[in-house]
Amino acid sequence: MEEIDLGKETFVGKWPTWLRWLLFIPAAIIAPMIFILIQSIFSNWFLDLGPNAFYLNLLRGVTYGAGIVVVGSMVAPKKQRVVALIFLITIAMMSGVALLYQSSHFVLNEFLEDIVTLIAAGWATYYIFNETK
């Protein structure tokens, strides 16, 4: 059974395999950051919202959780399920540490952002697993 490549139909599919393996972690981290930067600029300049508005925290959680898993899995040339699972486990550990740290000073926005990040990463992993059947 041949493995399905999620990035085959995109510009990433034209890259050599070694370059895709080299760049899958930086791409998974940078792509959500760029989206959050654009969204934050739009929200601050045009909507006059502060950087810690409630919906911005939730959107940041969804973007980081799903974005890291999906972009990292699409850039990786093979073993995309394993890559998605590794990113999910990493995000779960980071969210767990953040939740433990927040237990000393509880802030609802940050708590919900961590929970939403974990849920979005789980959904993205489920999506990757279904797309690579």
Q: Which range is least confidently modeled, 12-21, 53-62, 84-93, 97-106? A: 97-106
Q: How confident is the model at residue 82 (pLDDT cuts 50, 70, 90)?
A: very high
Q: Are 61 and 117 in contact (CB under 8 A)?
A: yes
CA separation for the pair 126, 133 (Å, rounded):
11
Using left for φ > 0, alpha for ψ between -120 and 50, and beta otherwise, residue 28 falls in alpha
CA separation for the pair 49, 53 (Å, rounded):
6
What mean pLDDT do residues 66-78 have? Answer: 92
Give the burial class of 41: count Cβ atoms within 10 A of its Cβ; 0-12 exposed, 13-18 middle, 19 or more buried: exposed
pLDDT at 96: 85
Higher pLDDT, 121 or 38: 121
pLDDT at 83: 93
pLDDT in tens, 6-17: 888 888 888 898
